Structure 1
Amino acid sequence: MTAQEKPRTVRLSVADWTSAALDLLVREGVAGVKISTLCAELGVTKGSFYWHFVDINALMAAVADQWCASQNDAVRGLDVLATMPVEQRLEWMASLLIEDRAWSVERAVRDWARTNEQVAASVQSLDQRILEVVTNTMEELGFDEADARLRAGTLVYAGIGFVHGRGSLPTPTLAEVRDIIAVLTSGNRPLA
């Protein structure tokens, strides 16, 4: 082993491992998160991994805990968002729809949620909270409850579609997202 290939001597924390595993999950999917790959990327031996985790399942449980905690923070951020003036709130939501890193993580986590109940519950909770905030925004704009929910649902489903369409469909620009929001927020008349 050359000096350049020598494993790290700095002890990694659980947070280092979970962060690296989440990055690998985003790049390779759940099946790509392997102990040997993580050790190679972090420049450590498998002994370092086993110092913190019994097995890969324990690591993935820690990653799920970390991600779910960050989503709880996101939900708390939605509470702050709900207090913003409507125009500022809509602009903030539009900018989120085109942020590459957020959508890469979102896509990977939604795929992971298909096989992990804890992650699935967190995704569902966050989706419900986002729908609630967007529905309330539409009601503040003067739409009745049914029309507000229809318009909010359209925006939320479009956002989820942006997640899964990335790479195979053109990514909308901020101006295009603003136009979509303008179409759904213009006029106080039912869509149907």
Structure 2
Amino acid sequence: MTTAGSTGRKTPRLSADDWIAAAFDLLTDEGVAAVKIVTLCKRLRVTKGSFYWHFADINGLFEAMSAAWTAESDAYLRGLTELGAAPPAERIEQMTRRLVDHQTWARESAVREWARTHPVVADAVAQLDNRIFEVVQQTLTELGLTPEDARIRAGLLVYAGIGFVESRGSLPTPTPEDIHKMIEVIFT
């Protein structure tokens, strides 16, 4: 089934995932204040009825976005955990490569900004940060560090990663090689 857009052209019926993806694009491009039903409808060239088919209100969309972001982050962490057979240094390397991926850190930065005003998102971010810390700490322990040294160095890595996300655009973007050298400094 199709719906008529404002141009009279027929567009495919949107799914809830389509709305969530469009909302994330808007969040990343313009910030949480820009994520409005009217703006999304214009961007997607559909009527408000299409939005309300999937969500009761904007808060319903925000909850769905939070759940989607949490699921995406959980899948990434599961992937890291499943790399258990890979050398620990390779797992650390994969985490850093993801950190410098533009799309990843742009969305991460936008979600962290959104978390400042939305308690459900703030809770999801805090839970993710703690899970990342645990994965990094476990990986460093596997590299032969004492539990105390692993905890301290995991803190350095995780805090540096969060700082990188928060400072995007205001400081030079490190290359993967730069990050590799930073990690070497932490281990020496």
Provide the rounded CA distance (Å) in 1 between the counterparts of 2:52 and 2:133. 41
Amino acid at match of 2:13: R
Would the alpha carbon gap of residues 169 and 25 (structure 1) be closer, same or farther in structure 2, given more than 3 Å must change?
same
On the 8 A contact 1:97/1:177 being kept in 2, the answer is no
Equivalent residue runs for 1:27-176 within 5 Å: 27-176=29-178
TM score, norm. by length of structure 1 = 0.87
Q: Which residue of 1 aligns with 2:7?
A: 5
On the 8 A contact 1:138/1:185 being kept in 2, the answer is no
Q: Deviations over 1:92-125 (max 9, x none)?
A: 1221221110001101111112222222222112
Amino acid at match of 2:38: S
Provide the rounded CA distance (Å) in 2 between the counterparts of 1:50 and 1:93. 38
What's the offset of the Cα at 1:82?
4.0
What's the offset of the Cα at 1:84?
2.1
What's the offset of the Cα at 1:55?
1.8
Provide the rounded CA distance (Å) in 2 between the counterparts of 1:176 and 1:91. 12
Q: Which residue of 2 aligns with 1:190?
A: none
Q: Report percent identity of matched pairs.
A: 52
The CA RMSD measured in Å over matched residues stands at 1.9
Provide the rounded CA distance (Å) in 2 between the counterparts of 1:4 and 1:49. 15
Amino acid at match of 2:18: D
Amino acid at match of 1:143: L
Provide the rounded CA distance (Å) in 1 between the counterparts of 2:174 and 2:90. 20
Q: Which residue of 1 aligns with 2:16?
A: 14
> SS at the partner of 1:166?
coil
> SS at the partner of 2:59?
helix
State how many pairs are aligned: 184
Provide the rounded CA distance (Å) in 2 between the counterparts of 1:30 and 1:97. 22
> SS at the partner of 1:97?
helix
Provide the rounded CA distance (Å) in 2 between the counterparts of 1:106 and 1:20. 16
Provide the rounded CA distance (Å) in 1 between the counterparts of 2:171 and 2:179. 14
Would the alpha carbon gap of residues 64 and 7 (structure 1) be closer, same or farther in structure 2, given more than 3 Å must change?
farther
Q: Gapped runs of 5+ residues in structure 1?
A: 187-192
On the 8 A contact 1:64/1:118 being kept in 2, the answer is yes
Amino acid at match of 2:52: Y
Provide the rounded CA distance (Å) in 1 between the counterparts of 2:78 and 2:140. 20
Would the alpha carbon gap of residues 99 and 49 (structure 1) be closer, same or farther in structure 2, given more than 3 Å must change?
same
Would the alpha carbon gap of residues 157 and 82 (structure 1) be closer, same or farther in structure 2, given more than 3 Å must change?
farther
Provide the rounded CA distance (Å) in 2 between the counterparts of 1:49 and 1:89. 40
